Amino acid sequence: MDFKDKCVLVTGASRGIGKATALAFAAKGAKVGINFRSRIGEAEKTLAELPGSGHQLFKRDVSVKEEAKALIDDFIDAYGKIDVLVNNAGIAISHKVDEIDFEDWTSAWEKTLQTNLFAPAHLCYLAAHHMIKAGSGSIVNVSSRGAFRGEPDQPAYGASKAGLNALSQSLAKKLAPHHIHVGVVAPGFTETDMATETLTASENEKMLQETPFHRMAKPEEVAHAILFLSSEESAYFSGTIIDVNGASYLRS
């Protein structure tokens, strides 16, 4: 896979899967735009680690539609085109239906859907219009195993990722005539700060028991799948959802 002269935007790229993805694209010759919301120190550290040149930081909160539009505008102003969009930014909020009040319930749903579903939808729309003009492009959305198995303690997260899967496959059909392919990577638990922040010690051990590998995925393993679906060689895989969960959840 060669991404030389390709311009790639990765959301939520200051750490975790986003950072690993940015590093992987840069190693293959791409110019990478690192989007982040607030962690300027981590974003700057990621930028400094990227091999090659021409990479830039883009501080925008993609959950705000005006900010999402500004992000794409900023990226086009910087690079003149967008070859690859990776929608990686996401949040997970615990909201157990039998424990919280209605205000907290509705707040969790609104924040989660705004970041995990509406933001990717808006960015897909905006990026796709530039890709249509260019006559090619690829979009990869980062979903989750939770879209299939359910998330009892954070149902909005599972629902948002299921919606992201459906959005991706709808766009795969619609954008194929424009030579734009759309794919999805659905990781299980991955060694990221978000996983560390949301798992208790007992939950972590239970999670490790779910996979025969008895470990979490490494961010680099998820990034490998993202690069594959972004490549020109994988265009006919458009609409595919790749599971990266260590056989912890197998769907038919």
Q: Which domains, from first to last, does the chain contain?
A: 7-244 (3.40.50.720)
Give CA 89 to chain center in angstroms.
Answer: 5
What pLDDT is recorded for position 197? 65
| Sequence letter at residue 154 | Q
What pLDDT is recorded for position 195? 64
Confidence of residue 206 (pLDDT cuts 50, 70, 90): confident
What pLDDT is recorded for position 196? 64
Any catalytic annotation for residue 157?
yes
Mean pLDDT of 180-203: 82
User: For residue range 146-162, what is the model confidence (pLDDT) as tens digits?
Assistant: 999 999 999 999 999 99
Residue 207 has pLDDT above 80, yes or no: no
Burial 143-182 (b: 16+ CB within 10 A, else e): bbbbbbbebeebbbbbbbbbbbbebbbebbeebeebebbb
Instruction: Enter the tokens of residue 61.
Output: 């909160």
Of 79, 125, 157, 236, which one is the catalytic site residue? 157
Average pLDDT of every residue of the chain: 95
Mean pLDDT of 187-192: 88
Mean pLDDT of 212-231: 94
What pLDDT is recorded for position 198? 64
Percent residues over pLDDT 70 in the chain = 97
pTM recorded for the entire structure: 0.94
| Sequence letter at residue 201 | A
